[in-house]
Chain A
């Protein structure tokens, strides 16, 4: 079937196209060049006056794995307010802060998203994460395997194993857990909390292991680079949420010595200690450092006001934050000599000085970082806000007067502590398309996604131009996934199953000899049963695996 999208205004930064009228042809799920022959068009959509972008990609959103399910179970009162009935096409479920898996897929698609990546896949919990993501319809998905507090790595570093050995282990983990990247959460800190350390600075040693967070970051960033994994080491830094952590973050950027590194939800890591409340914005310093260091990419982790739930691997910080839980309940877990998780419900309030300034810090960061290819639009769903608030966030970025109106309503002391009101920048549609499409595909290492040039998969979103950017982005006219029309006028009209994106870097088989002994001696599962096989993802006929190239390694 040949589909033609006629006359839309195309924003396709992957091909350098910034708002040009252009037809798009779709054949067998992919975008193709205009056919030379006189083949008839089977279906034509007149898109004149419409904005056309590729499907949006969320590069950091907590959509699969144990902590999400804990968050759901913890908050039945949150779902009760947002029941989602079944339809002829769609399954029932529930919203809100942590929606059920089907509702997650529908609501992402209804905003024009066609792919989402779970950033905190504990290797021991990877099977669960993939099973849960297998029940998210429409979207493509993938995950970043979490390392850095796993005892195997910390033992290797303490034993001063060479980089090659670490590389083999990292590659083995990413293969065994079917992931596309590597993430570190509070490097070594989740382990340190198990040894009863309640804080851990960049150069502070684990009380048991002879290792510092800085070493862990350097070793893993090197491994990711040497293995040719496209996605840079994905880092949730030390001291999340702690006033003064801007220094830690700047030190982390400096200390990585030019290696590719992605700093996630950097808003939570950009706090100074100035002012009457000893809490201030470090966004300008962070933006300056990011602008200067081209090896660094960031996503913001914007907070937006309202009830949500925070779910993180960072047990150390989550435990410390339980006193702010709203409602007052929380879960912390130590997990399998691998990592941990902490789930704390949270309500961000615009009349709370700290929350109000967090909101401003996130926006300052967006507006002060120059290069939209190196910054990504996230709320760290659900930690800063549920993903359903993205259209509102886009309006804040694109509409200065709306932003300033909002600014005028927050805690007055926070207004005084932010430069937000003096920043004139407004994001363009092209910049939004970079942040949420082309740039995201590039940083994850997705081949044939995130662009509208021939050869790409036909993940396409069509909007009606509207000065109210929130309205525009919350209700696309059409969304195509792999060439199939899945959303019309912001409503799912058809569902399908997306693929799971992975990489398969090479590793030396001998790494399993040592791992097998370690599993037998210390863990509670056999090595052979730990590894996820391809058929676990594909056997039900819905799932599939898409392997992306690693640099310098032919597929």
Chain B
């Protein structure tokens, strides 16, 4: 039995790297700094380690040959999931390039709200260490921060020290939209967050009027999105008065049509404040299960984020047309590879076409795919790299055990060579 310190996590998106993990053979136990997301993800027991073809256990070479044969005969393959590390994504893109596949990260419909905003008008953002050391006012838009990132407040706000704040416990936390599910946002000295509640479908209106107030436009209505204008004014004035205000949101929590327009309004609020002569930054929270990794690697390899078609022999990007679910529903795909090295519960949406799954060991299926190859989890079974949700920091994932599982990159490269 060994203990490994300073283990970085590929699961929480925040790149938490202070975990201590006890390794006993192939079983792992988080003994320090776990959380509701990381602990179960690391401790998930090892299950099958052998590939299957049509439900029958076989060796890796046979499974790879079968996968290659499926892709070889496909007119329009899809490489979905895309939940892996940097090397896995590199291999996935090489395979897509060779087979003319569509590449689509499983969370792209969420990420799209941010990406459309970025591509239409841009944004001003910050990263976690800046939040930790500078943020004196945090405005949370429509997001339950603590369920998304359980240790967010502990690690980045209620810290013992901050370089530029005399008293980190005096930071102001403001929620607009849903109320927090727990009390992580209450300061260690017992100060609760200010909560201005409205429903999902009221959020676009509330955010729009908040922007108008920040721009100093006259508002005749008495409330917007169910929130009294006087309350929105309270938010506006605190944000404008902040030394370093931060506005955060998680697109997964913005479950209404055209959320990108609300994201854009939020980003314009941040820009407006900076143009008015104060500092303010956005903090878009994304990045679980390889989302940021997929977008980054696809970004430098193709010029576009991770929803790209290679069907014409070069990368084409369309955030709507290449939605894998839409393509499958329309019968536009005749084979798929699903890559999910992190989460046994994230399975292909449909197996109506010949399906190859590279999944985390223990993935169970209602309908057995044509080929299942259990792959190692980056950061557990092999070393690797992953991008943190704030988009700048890449973390070096460690190998913690040897369960004999191949990496995503090894399997995809073998398939690519066999095609």
- A residues neighboring B (CB under 8 Å): 66, 68-69, 72-76, 79-80, 83-86, 91-94, 98-102, 122, 124-125, 127-128, 131-132, 135, 151, 194-196, 198, 208, 319, 325, 328-338, 343, 521-526, 528-529, 532-533, 535-536, 539-540
* Interface residues of chain A: helix, strand, loop or mixed (majority): mixed
**Distance from A301 Cβ to chain B, minimum over Cβ atoms (Å):** 23
Contacts A208-B164, A524-B155 given: A125-B396 contact, CB under 8 Å?
no
A69 touches B299 (CB 8 A): yes
Q: Is B285 among interface residues, defined by CB-CB distance under 8 A?
A: no
Contacts A86-B97, A540-B87 given: A336-B119 contact, CB under 8 Å?
no
A76 to B308, CA, bound (A): 11
**Distance from A95 Cβ to chain B, minimum over Cβ atoms (Å):** 8
A319 to B94, CA, bound (A): 37
A66 to B387, CA, bound (A): 11
Contact of B392 among A74, A80, A336 (CB under 8 A): A336
Q: In the complex, what residue of chain B is closest to A315 when comparing beta carbons?
A: B124
Which chain A residues border B126 with CB–CB below 8 Å? 333-335
B315 touches A524 (CB 8 A): no
B304 touches A79 (CB 8 A): yes
B395 touches A331 (CB 8 A): no
Contacts A74-B122, A93-B315, A529-B6 given: A132-B303 contact, CB under 8 Å?
no
Which chain A residues border B124 with CB–CB below 8 Å? 319, 331-333
Contacts A208-B164, A329-B120, A331-B123 given: A128-B301 contact, CB under 8 Å?
no
A446 to B128, CA, bound (A): 37
Q: Is B67 among interface residues, defined by CB-CB distance under 8 A?
A: no
**Distance from A76 Cβ to chain B, minimum over Cβ atoms (Å):** 5
Which chain B residues border A86 with CB–CB below 8 Å? 97-98, 310, 313-314
Stretch at the interface among B130-138, B209-217, B324-332, B352-360: B130-138
B119 touches A73 (CB 8 A): yes
Interface centre among B97, B122, B130, B156 (most CB of A within 10 A): B122
A93 touches B303 (CB 8 A): yes
B387 touches A128 (CB 8 A): yes
Interface centre among A72, A92, A101, A523 (most CB of B within 10 A): A92
8 contacts between A and B (CB under 8 A): A74-B122, A83-B315, A86-B310, A94-B303, A124-B392, A127-B394, A334-B130, A525-B15
Q: Is B207 among interface residues, defined by CB-CB distance under 8 A?
A: no
- B residues neighboring A (CB under 8 Å): 6, 8, 14-15, 17-18, 86-87, 90, 94, 97-98, 115, 118-130, 132-134, 155-156, 160-164, 243-244, 274, 277-279, 281, 295-297, 299-305, 310, 312-317, 383, 385, 387, 391-396
B302 touches A524 (CB 8 A): no
Contacts A86-B314, A336-B393 given: A536-B87 contact, CB under 8 Å?
no
Which chain A residues border B278 with CB–CB below 8 Å? 196
Which chain B residues border A319 with CB–CB below 8 Å? 124, 274
Of all A-B residue pairs in the complex, the 10 with the closest CB atoms, nearest first, are A94-B303, A329-B122, A79-B303, A83-B314, A127-B394, A336-B129, A85-B313, A69-B299, A92-B314, A524-B128
A419 to B15, CA, bound (A): 55
**Distance from B100 Cβ to chain A, minimum over Cβ atoms (Å):** 9
B156 touches A93 (CB 8 A): no
A521 to B129, CA, bound (A): 10
Q: In the complex, what residue of chain B is closest to A78 when comparing beta carbons?
A: B303
Interface contacts beyond A68-B300, A86-B97, A127-B395: sample of 15 additional A-B pairs, CB < 8 Å, sorted by A: A73-B115, A83-B316, A84-B314, A85-B312, A92-B310, A92-B314, A99-B303, A125-B392, A127-B396, A151-B163, A196-B243, A522-B163, A526-B6, A528-B6, A529-B6
